[in-house]
Amino acid sequence: MGKQGNQHSFLRMIILVSTFGGLLFGYDTGVINGALPYMSESDQLNLNSFTQGLVTSALLFGAAFGAVIGGRLADYNGRRKTILYLAILFFVSTIGCTISPNAAVMILCRFLLGLAVGGASVTVPTYLAEMSPAESRGKMVTQNELMIVTGQLLAFTFNAIIGNMLGENPHVWRYMLPIAAIPAVFLFFGMLRVPESPRWLVSKGKNNEALTVLQKIRESKRAKSELKEIESAYEKEAKMEKATFKDLTTPWVRRVVFLGIGIAVVQQITGVNSIMYYGTEILKDAGFQTEAALIGNIGNGVISVLATFVGIWLLGKVGRRPMLITGLVGTTTALLLIGIFSLVFEGSAALPYIVLALTITFLAFQQGAISPVTWLMLSEIFPLRLRGLGMGVTVFCLWGINFLVGLTFPVLLASIGLSTTFFVFVVLGIGAILFVKKFLPETKGLTLEELEQRFRSYDNEDADVMNDNKII
């Protein structure tokens, strides 16, 4: 019993350490919300609306490329070593942003930070999925999602505290940014103490090392049977050439990548990041003063964290597919109501409170259902030798859509107004619901190897099998 307790505690340490990558992901995407107004001042970086957009979206642009590069690095060098490299990049680029003397250096450092964020968004969920036992994979992988929203909440909270305490100091933004260097240090030194993924070790022929790792995180009999499963799956894949984009010519691989891209796009077109990046602006547009909007923004961060706890609990009880559909129906309805009430109550004292209540409702569905399922399913659906490549391609698309939403949302808000902007997202939300209902399979309760067999079997069955309830 004592040995089993040690295995569980070691597994918990692996989760805690690796998900610092998620915390960095969240903090670095949230901190710009509060830092941007201060760094835009004429005696600081002197940003205009265009360069503000570049500073904000440079991270998202870098993240799209970081997702692809991170996926490939994770396949070649291992998941653990790649996360170590990312920790160094997080630290260096964070310090670079903090001491940036002008907009050009800031944009470059934000792009480099984006490479680290994108790499972490691929590598950390993959590592967690490969370390976790099948029955608790959902809970383990979504710990990363919890750390992402915790990082965003910390960013919103530190922005508000530092902004209120040091708001008169023109360099106040230089105190907001470097906080992200602290978890980067924890991530680096923590990853030195954890092992490599056993699935990656098998892919490199290091089967004895893989067994040693498994015995540290599983009871002995299970470790041996799981190693056999991994070896068996890898032997079947070994006949394939090295994973490249040419593998997309295989129909079942193409279908899995199509599903991955679909899942990634679905998560972004709900418009979640318009609220996470521009929540303060949305609340100001509805009628709040800036100070009240900043406090409301913290409320958005708090509900995101609480909803993620609920989402992690639900993943153990409910299938991925019904959870995703429920989340999409909830977010689309919340956006529809924001659009309607913005027209009906325009200019009224009640509108800002209605909009705040609905953005909180939106985030409860998004972070409690859609986001946990997204990152979990992306880490589950790809076979071992294609996992890095597949995650890279799909998360590239996720960050690409994120970049477009981040870039166009303020333009839409200024040109067509709050209500019409949200009606656009409602239409996209309806499309997302239809996609999930038609194409998405259920993955709950299956090992990664069993999932692969399901996907391979599609080549030998009629395409309509994707809609057959016995596998969905």
Q: Compute the distance between CA of residue 168 and CA of residue 190 in angstroms, rounded to an integer.
A: 37
What is the structure's pLDDT at 51?
A: 80
Question: Using H for helix, E for strand and C for coil, what is the string for 338-367?
Answer: HHHHHHHCCCCCCHHHHHHHHHHHHHHHHH
- Cα→Cα distances 355→30, 262, 326, 431, Å: 20, 29, 21, 24
Look at residues 47, 40, 422 and name the one whose alpha carbon lies nearest to residue 269: 422
CA gap 96, 109 in Å, rounded: 6
Three-class SS state of 385: helix
Q: How far does CA 456 lie from the centroid of its chain?
A: 27
Tokens 């360099």 map to which residue?
171
Q: Nearest 5°: phi and psi at 159? A: -60, -45
**Distance between CA atoms of residues 279 and 359, nearest Å:** 9
**Burial annotation 319-329 (CB, 10 A radius, 16+ → b, else e):** bbbebbbbbbe
Query: CA–CA separation, 383 vs 236, rounded Å?
Result: 11
Beta-carbon contacts of 466 under 8 Å, excluding residues fewer than 6 positions away, are 255, 438, 439, 441, 458, 472
Best CA proximity match to 49, nearest among 59, 39, 40, 57: 40
CA 453 to CA 448: how far, in whole Å? 9
Here the tokens at position 8 are 């569980």
Instruction: Give helix 103-131 / helix 20-30 axis angle, nearest 10°.
Output: 150
DSSP letter, residue 45: T
Residue among 172, 199, 236, 255 at smallest CA distance from 460: 255
Do 205 and 28 meet the contact criterion of CB atoms below 8 Å apart?
no
- Helix axes 251-269 and 371-380, enclosed angle (nearest 10): 160
User: Which two three-digit tokens encode residue 88?
Assistant: 């160094």
Beta carbons within 8 Å of 176's beta carbon, 6+ residues apart: 31, 34, 35, 38, 158, 159, 162, 163
Q: Residue 385's pLDDT is what?
A: 67
CB-CB contact of 132 with 141 (8 Å): yes
Query: How far is residue 366 CA from its own chain's centroid?
Result: 12
Q: Which helix (H) or strand (E) holds 128?
A: helix 103-131
Angle between helices 207-217 and 220-238 (to 10 degrees): 140
Report in angstroms the alpha-carbon separations of 344 from 353, 420, 430.
14, 13, 23
- pLDDT score for 329: 94
**pLDDT tens per residue across all 472 residues of the chain:** 455 667 778 888 888 888 888 888 889 888 887 787 788 888 888 887 778 778 888 898 898 888 878 878 888 888 889 999 999 999 999 999 999 999 999 999 999 999 998 888 788 888 888 887 777 776 777 777 788 888 989 998 888 888 878 867 888 889 989 998 988 998 899 888 888 888 888 888 787 888 887 777 777 777 788 788 777 777 776 665 555 666 666 777 778 888 889 888 888 888 887 777 777 777 777 887 766 777 788 888 899 889 888 887 887 788 888 899 999 999 999 999 988 998 888 878 888 889 889 989 999 999 888 888 887 787 777 776 676 677 778 877 888 888 888 777 777 877 888 888 889 999 999 999 998 888 777 767 666 666 777 777 765 554 444 444 333 3
Amino acid at 250: T
**E-only strand ranges, 239-337:** none
What does the pLDDT read at residue 239?
64
Phi (first) and psi of residue 43, to 5 degrees: -90, 5
